Chains A and B, each alone.
Chain A
């Protein structure tokens, strides 16, 4: 019983950063912008979060720093693609490459240092209820935040007028511009929100998941988050489901390695990546679903006539 609870808890911990980063990217893509820099923003958030936490001793300050670093880093992408109309694919890629390099440089002195960990929630009485107690009342704060964030984004996109406007920009930026909607301003805000989320997800890695700094510790999670958005066909609740499936795969292969299953560990480690490919193939086979849901102006540069 305890093992099951432990596994479920670790799955949630593995799924949370994927969920947070993917939800952020979902909002970005709903506005019609494709930011392939999630991995870079995430690793910057991780190093920023770790550094601030390590220097101040407060994981909360670390978390705040992760968010700010992620948002600032995404601002670079926003200026390039929105104000200078650069190619979004190339710019996103370079954001990732820059992030991996910069984080490595900043983090040199953090390697091997003990980090600070964000404490789990502990409500006396409730958290000690057998089984459900720890699952529902004893997890790290970001777990609750990630669920709340998903719900909030769902509400925002589909129940508010601002959300409708954001979706309309993703569908056709030229129509939106003709109606007088501030396309670029909305997209700036969406990209920065996505950056803040990716930074927070990185902060989760270095302040909750493994409270230390390891170079390249995001290990492709940013890319998996991007894949999750496609897999979810741009629906928040499907991102939630997808993140937990991937969390399960991630944890499953770790446990399989620990149990000494007679399969080389490298093969087990490659499972999350292979699973990503498999899932992408499955979802993109359904062309109608993909076509109906893909924001029509995704990845197209927009330069208004004035």
Chain B
């Protein structure tokens, strides 16, 4: 019988702050190898198929960017929430609402064309995501309702709402009964960056811009300071004169808007129409991305690319080795677990203690000292 004991470090460890994501990644690889072995696949073959093949050609890198863009956009917004110790876990719903709001123009006004269409769609997408995110914010500030549960419940509602739209009022009349809207017109489609090389679109640029902007805000601006203070010690934040309720709205609206932007970018760029399902769980995976990037927007860019690779790898092992693509979700979950666990090393040293209690060294005897 062993037990773990944590010994608090006097200062956080700079070494482990750098090392911890790599240790976590290595541990995930080991666990993944065991998993593949249990599934009866040679781990080396599996890893090659999973991690190397999907990024061995240029067009594949474009696919990676397509997958990474929404993850980074959403995760960057969530990182601000989580830094403020505010728990928006309904980004999936805000993503969907962004997709729906942004689609209003191409679906309901397909004749409206021109250079204004796309900016308006993106703006509407952000508004949609932000509005949807304002619901849990309002409930939290007005009634102190737990935002974790409300934002999550709204995901299910958003999914059902989208399902109704594309099967009902917004269904393409010429679509042979398929549950989908009309294909967006040319001016409503997010252009590709380098059409000759691959499919990656402007969504990836939005993600990078958002990451840099939020990084600047968090590290250099008073607003970022406000977020960090309120998140790490709310009472000190109140003493500083920072309003907690305002912060709840700020973080929810910001992360909602970015999730909404991700949503409309995905619909307008990668899909080109609304379908009953427009996200393979980006809103939830982005939570992992945010933590894997340790809530730092620049780290999130790297983490977003890694997680996008797990999606592509999942598809690859399914086609090449006949393993369920759910393996991607397992990888993501394990990675997050190991990241959280390894972060403990930043603040604590870990001692392994055997079952017997540690012995006291006998101190030298001080006879007759008194």
The residues of A with any CB-CB pair to B shorter than 8 Å are 36, 76, 80, 83-87, 89-91, 93-94, 97-102, 104-105, 108, 219-220, 223, 226-227, 230, 264, 266-267, 269-270, 273-274, 276-277, 280-281, 284-285, 287, 290, 303, 306
Contact = CB atoms under 8 A, between A and B. Distances in A.
A76 to B, nearest CB: 7
A223 B284 contact: no
Contact of A281 (B139, B285, B291): B139
Interface residues of B, number: 50
Q: Which 3 A-B pairs have the closest CB atoms?
A: A101-B329, A98-B333, A104-B326
B149 A230 contact: yes
A76 B328 CA distance: 20
A264 B168 contact: yes
A277 B153 contact: yes
Interface string B172-193: 0000000000000000000000
B343 A83 contact: no
Contact of B344 (A85, A219, A270): A85
Nearest to B334: A98
B305 interface: no
Given A84-B344, A90-B340, 11 more contacts: A84-B4, A90-B336, A98-B330, A101-B330, A102-B329, A220-B153, A273-B157, A277-B150, A277-B153, A280-B146, A284-B144
Which of A98, A274, A287, A290 gathers the greatest number of chain B CB atoms within 10 Å?
A98
Contacts of B161: 266, 270
Nearest to B138: A281
Contact of A273 (B6, B145, B153): B153
Given A86-B340, A101-B333, A266 B153 contact: no
B89 to A, nearest CB: 6
Nearest to B161: A266
B251 interface: no
Given A84-B6, A267-B164, A303-B348, A276 B153 contact: yes
A219 B350 CA distance: 38
Contacts of A80: 337, 340-341
Contacts of B146: 227, 230, 280, 284
Contact of A226 (B149, B326, B328, B337): B149
A6 B154 CA distance: 31
Contacts of A285: 143
B271 interface: no
B113 interface: no
A97 B149 contact: no
Contacts of B7: 306
Nearest to B156: A273
A107 to B, nearest CB: 8
Contact of B149 (A86, A99, A227): A227
B330 to A, nearest CB: 5
A76 B340 CA distance: 12
Interface in B1-39: 3-8
B48 interface: no
Contact of B336 (A97, A102, A274, A280): A97
22 contacts: A76-B337, A84-B340, A90-B82, A93-B89, A94-B288, A94-B291, A94-B337, A98-B330, A99-B333, A101-B332, A104-B324, A104-B329, A108-B326, A220-B156, A264-B168, A266-B163, A277-B145, A277-B153, A280-B145, A284-B143, A287-B144, A306-B5
